Amino acid sequence: MECVLASGVRSWGHGRALVVGLLLAGGLLIGGTAYFAGRDGSTKVMTGPNPSHMELTTAAAPEPTAQVMPTSAPATGIGTESTTSIPEPTTGRIETRTAAVHPNAVGSPKTIAPATPTETVKSASGPSSNKPSEGDNMDTMFRASAKEACPGNPVDFTVEHMPEDGIYLWNFGDGSFSNKPNPQHTFTKPGSYQVMLSMSSAGAGTIRNKPSSDMIVIHDAPMAKFNVAPQNYKGQIPSVHFENRSLGAKSYRWDLGDGTVSTLAHPDHVYKAKGVYQVELIVTNEIGCVDRKIKEVRVENDFNLGAPASFSPNKDGKDDTFMPEALLDLTAKFQLAVYDPSGTLVYNTSDPTHPWCGKVKNQGPVCTTGDYVWVVDIESGSQASETFTGKVKLLP
């Protein structure tokens, strides 16, 4: 009895090993057929009534390797079975194929027949888009506020049809750059400049260069320059002469610092009060370009023609008359006028040898004591006339 049982167990073991070997061979046959079908594109279709179809999608995979996958053991719990699976070779593409499977061929190999792809071939790295960005769809351009300018005048640049999140780099052609969307630039030297805008939409990764359609022309500017020369000569009112040394200028404007303005090329000016004055010369050329120069003029003393502060017409031989001292030697013409406290003219003369003696028109009784206003107008040739004024006290 024991021999019979032992013989039966050995027979079962040999039979089970045979079954396992057959299953292993079948798995290798299926995998090998699928592998070569995928490589050479040959078609093997199962014959039989009413074949059914199913969709099978394969994706990129690593190089083929044999993997042994354990399966459930038989109900007896004796021994193990294995199935060999050989995956599809790497194609790097996603394709859709149709497999024809015979429903009655149970246990027979399933053969994949290549079919026309039903989807657009896509990159394994994912979808890509060739849709242009918003900035590419528009005709991006920029404008300058001026095609011609003078050195020192700012020029504004404005971009049209560019997204708010765009990236900009301006090259103004003079060695200056800016990354602002709408910059303002000042050209300091004359010349012709080609402005270039390099731009890109955010995330686009494409940089486009846009040159200006016209050259920016910066004209030559004049150069303001002058010298200051004090004039102290006998018979003349002390003054300051401004010698204009400007280049390329057509017109001039002087601000002499005490409220006086002149458009002469070489003006003379009399400063009546001591102090420091800021003198500015602004010059303009034919195109309209300007330049300016500022200098200080220092006046050490007040100048009121040397007029006395008071006089007493008492005939004692001391300060009996009134006449500003500078008028005695003045070669230029002048006019002296004296007004009483009410503003009435009491005396006037253009002769330095006829001073005021304290009377109305130098006739009759002496005027009432008090403060009188005097005014002197002096002609100065080609220059504007100079006016001096002050007060003199009439004493008994």
Neighbouring C-beta atoms of residue 110, cutoff 10 Å: 15
3 state DSSP class of 274: coil
Q: What is the mean pLDDT of residues 213-220?
A: 89
* Lookup result for tokens 């003045």: 330
pLDDT greater than 90 at residue 289: yes
Is 134-218's fold the same as 226-299's? yes
Of 271, 379, 394, 378, which is closest to residue 338 (Cα–Cα)? Answer: 394
State which amino acid sits at residue 30: I
Check if the beta carbon of residue 297 is closer than 8 Å to that of residue 281: no
* Cα–Cα distance for residue pair 88/31, rounded to 1 Å: 9
CATH code: domain 134-218 is 2.60.40.10
pLDDT of residue 21: 53
Closest of 170, 162, 174, 164 to residue 144, by C-alpha: 170
What are the tens digits of pLDDT across the range 34-58?
A: 444 444 443 333 334 343 333 333 3
In this prediction, residue 76 carries a pLDDT of 37
- The span from the CA of 327 to the CA of 335, in Å, is 10
Q: Give the pLDDT score at 331.
A: 86
Is domain 310-394 in CATH 2.60.40, yes or no?
A: yes
Total residue length of the chain: 396
pLDDT tens sequence across 220-264: 999 999 999 998 888 888 899 999 999 999 999 999 999 999 999
CA-nearest of 158, 187, 162 to 172 is: 187
- Distance between CA 351 and CA 308 in Å, rounded? 18
State which amino acid sits at residue 103.
P
For position 44, what pLDDT does the model report? 38
Q: What mean pLDDT is reported for the chain?
A: 73
Q: Which CATH class is domain 226-299?
A: mainly beta
Mean pLDDT throughout 119-137?
38
Q: Which residue in this structure is represented by tokens 């995956």?
A: 87
pLDDT at 347: 97
Predicted confidence band of residue 379 (pLDDT cuts 50, 70, 90): confident
Identify the residue with better confidence: 202 or 105: 202
Q: How far is CA 306 from CA 199, 310, 325, in A?
A: 73, 12, 5
What is the pLDDT confidence band of residue 393, given thresholds at 50, 70 and 90?
A: very high
So what's the pLDDT on residue 384?
A: 66
387 with 347: CB under 8 angstroms? no
How far is residue 135's CA from residue 202's CA, in Å, rounded to a whole number? 9
Average pLDDT, stretch 119-127?
A: 35
- Domain assignments of the chain as residue spans, ordered by start: 2-113, 134-218, 226-299, 310-394
Q: What is the pTM of this model?
A: 0.55
206 vs 146 pLDDT, higher one: 146
Cα dist from 387 to 284, 356, 375, whole Å: 30, 19, 7
Tell whether the model's pLDDT for residue 94 goes beyond 70: no
- Percentage of the chain surpassing pLDDT 70? 62
Q: What is the pLDDT of residue 126?
A: 39
Please, which pLDDT band fits residue 12 given cuts at 50, 70 and 90? very low
